[in-house]
Amino acid sequence: MQTVLSIAVDAFAYGMVLFIICIGLSVTMGLMQVVNLAHGGFAMIGGYIASYVARDMGLGYAAAVLAAIIGTIAIAIPLERFLYRRVYAQPQLIQVLMTIGITFCIIGITNYIFGPTLKTIPLPAALSGPVDIGFRTIAAHRLFVMVCGLAVALGLWLLIERTAFGIRLRAAVDNAAMTSALGVRTEFVYAVAFALAMGLAAFGGVVGAEFLPIEPYYALRYMVTFLVVVSVGGAGSISGALAACLLLGAVDTTGRYLFPDFGNFFFYLAVIVIVCAFPRGLLGREQARG
């Protein structure tokens, strides 16, 4: 029973980390139809900035998170304007190549600036101790991650379902040409959504650093994991991404606990089975594409 609970808590926390990072990827893929393999790279930039602010400058955790989000968005906006915008309507292979190129550049440049070592982000005292939640104690950081994940899910749901910006966003997802004919500046919607997605990636990279350590090849190592989550969940669907993150988090964590020798074996096997069974993702919608 103890094992089951431990697995459940770890799986849920890990799933939430995946969700915070991947939901931005899902949004950009559903909205702009761009396969952004560099998404993990932005999470990595966030992690490097946070590590620099918290460890080397000695500022607090909150300041580090804030700096990571703002810094990453500041880097992402010009990239969207000058690189991504050119490949929105291109075939997927072109997008894959461009974004792999951006990933390589991010890895090369960040490691040139910050040095090729593992980056730690020191946790504040309030998050590093255990917390008693009645029937057992869990690490406060896990609880924090879960709360963050749920808050992000709720916030995004409110933003997309309840605000004017959300209406424009959904309209642009459904039919970009018609939306812009109706007077919505779709380019502006794209840019804001992209910035939001990258900000979330940075946020997820920082709060998830305990699960996915910030290291020199972060962007490549977890690129596959993030893509898998989105293709299992279905591009552009928040509930699909949430379901995929929880499911894959559970598969991965359970596999690690029960069969530690087989590492990622079960994860990739599950991915192949799920993608073969649901080629459009668990809750993905029909894309208007041949």
Partner 1 sequence: MSETRPLAASGRRWPRDVIGLAAIALAGGAGYVLFPDSLAFLTRIISIALLVLSLDLLIGYCGIATLGQSALYGAGAYAAGIAAVNGLTDPVALIAVGALAGGVAGLLMGAVLLRAHGLPQLVLSIAFVQLFHEMANKAASITGGSDGLYGIAPGPLFGLFAFDLYGKTAFFAGLGLLLLVFAALSFVVRSPFGMTCRGIKEDPLRIRAMGIGVRPTLIKMFALSGAVAGMGGALGAIATQVVGLDSVSFELSANALVMLVLGGFGSLYGALIGTVIFLGVEHEVSAINPFHWMTLVGVMLIAVVLFAPRGLYGVMTDAVARWRGRP
Residue ranges that bind partner 1, judged by CB under 8 A = 29, 35, 83, 86-87, 91-94, 96-98, 100-109, 111-112, 116, 216, 220, 224, 227-228, 230-231, 235, 261-265, 268-269, 271-272, 275-276, 279-281, 287, 289-290
CB of 262 to partner 1, least distance (A): 6
Q: Nearer to partner 1 by C-beta: 112 or 135?
A: 112
Nearer to partner 1, 86 or 136 (CB): 86
Within its chain, how far is the Cα of 263 from the centroid? 22
In whole angstroms, how close is the CB of 279 to partner 1 at the nearest point?
Answer: 4
User: What minimum distance in Å lies between the beta carbon of 289 and partner 1?
Assistant: 7
Compare residues 180 and 287 and give the one whose CB is closer to partner 1: 287
Query: Smallest Cα–Cα separation from 77: which of 187, 240, 242?
Result: 187
Say how far apart CA 168 and CA 255 lie, in whole Å. 41
Nearest to 230 by CA among 283, 173, 153, 270: 283
Q: For residues 11 and 250, is the Cβ–Cβ distance under 8 A?
A: yes
- The residue assigned the tokens 């799920």 is 274
Q: Which two tokens stand for residue 102?
A: 């951006």
Single-letter residue type at 277: A
Q: Least distance (Å) from partner 1 to the CB of residue 83?
A: 7
Q: In this complex, which beta carbon is closest to partner 1, that of residue 27 or of residue 235?
A: 235
Rounded least distance, CB 230 to partner 1, Å: 7
What are the angstrom distances between the C-alpha of 126 and each of 60, 122, 159, 249? Answer: 12, 12, 30, 25
Residue 25 or 250 with smaller CB distance to partner 1:
25
Closest approach, Cβ 85 to partner 1, in A, equals: 12
- Could you tell me the two tokens for 125? 């005292």
List 130's β-bridge partners, or say none: 139
What angle in degrees, to the nearest 10, is found between the helix axes of 223-233 and 238-258?
130
**CB 108 to partner 1: min, Å:** 3
Nearest to 48 by CA among 96, 110, 3, 92: 110
Nearer to partner 1, 41 or 46 (CB): 41
CB-nearer residue toward partner 1: 140 or 275: 275
